[in-house]
Amino acid sequence: MMQYRELKPGGAMARFVKTFWMLEDSSPNGDEQRIVPDGRPELIFNLGAPFESCKDGAWTRQPQSFLAGQITRPLLLRSAGAAHILGVRFHPHGASDLLGMPLTEFTDQVVPLEDFSPDLHRTLQRLGELEKGDPLEAIAGLLAQLCQHEDDDRRMKSAVAQFESSAGLAEVREVASKVGMSPRQLQRCFRERVGISPKLFPRMQRFQRVFQAMEPGPAGWVEVAVDCGYYDQAHLIRDFREFAGKPPTALEAGEIELAREFAGR
């Protein structure tokens, strides 16, 4: 049975982290799960068996602890045993601001912690030794102690907030003007701090609105798409093929169980 819970960050960490989360599944079935892009990088630490991911038709086990950068296409996962995962879901700009590194290097990549932050890797290994207490509280405390970089770019935070509040309908030129940047500056800085372009990010936010409203079966798709800012059904299907890998009517409920558990969090 799958169990999922969250812990909202407090204090200074709330500037960088959207939520800390934990997923436990003592009896996984190994079915393929489809994760869709949402514009937020994540830090993952496995206390149980790591998931396997599929790339170019080959399945490989994920690292024990890693940073998952922005994904621009669907990510296929399957369980390889009993799962016990601790996750840090960053704000779109949060990982770069907190860890002090450009996110462009991590787009569509899963990078083991020891490869880019040995100190963070060694610190988080202590989570596996905990016998008492709340693991979510523990990972929040450890991350706050270790990561003291606070290069908080307020212009980028404002740009992200405007794209999110408009559900992806705000124009790049309009947002650039509001945050005091040229469109070219916003393009460059957004890629560096968020990991994707300021044109792609709003599309993900609009897609997420539809995805979160998704119900089993095809009924109501066109109406939901129009409400979320899509021009027509073809426009919607294009984004579904890009971000989910299939048109909406071809997705099976079991494929997206894990993604829907996280959607809108």
Q: Is residue 199 part of a domain?
A: no
Amino acid code (one letter) for 94: G
Q: Is residue 81 part of a domain?
A: yes
Least confident of 34-43, 148-157, 204-213, 222-231: 148-157
- Whether residue 118 sits in one domain with residue 215: no
Q: Is residue 201 part of a domain?
A: no
Read off the CATH number of the domain in which 58 is found. 2.60.120.10
- Whether residue 83 sits in one domain with residue 22: yes
- Whether residue 182 sits in one domain with residue 245: no
- Whether residue 230 sits in one domain with residue 164: no
pLDDT of residue 28: 73
- Whether residue 60 sits in one domain with residue 140: yes
Query: Is residue 93 pLDDT above 50, yes or no?
Result: yes
Task: Provide the number of structural domains found in the chain.
Answer: 3
pLDDT of residue 184: 95
Alpha-carbon separation of residue 27 from 34, 50, 64, 75 (angstroms): 19, 14, 19, 22
- Whether residue 102 sits in one domain with residue 185: no
Q: Which of 106, 125, 146 is the last residue of a domain?
A: 146
What percentage of the chain reaches a pLDDT higher than 90? 44
Which range in 44-58, 135-149, 214-228, 239-253 is most confidently predicted, on average pLDDT? 44-58
| The two three-digit tokens of residue 193, written as one number | 């701090």
More confident residue, 233 or 104: 104
- Whether residue 129 sits in one domain with residue 18: yes
Query: Is residue 265 pLDDT above 50, yes or no?
Result: no
- Whether residue 133 sits in one domain with residue 6: yes
Distance CA 207, CA 215 (A): 14
Alpha-carbon separation of residue 144 from 177, 183, 223, 262 (angstroms): 34, 34, 44, 23
> Which range of residues forms the domain containing residue 41?
2-146
Distance CA 67, CA 41 (A): 7
- Whether residue 11 sits in one domain with residue 141: yes
191 pLDDT band, cuts 50/70/90, is very high
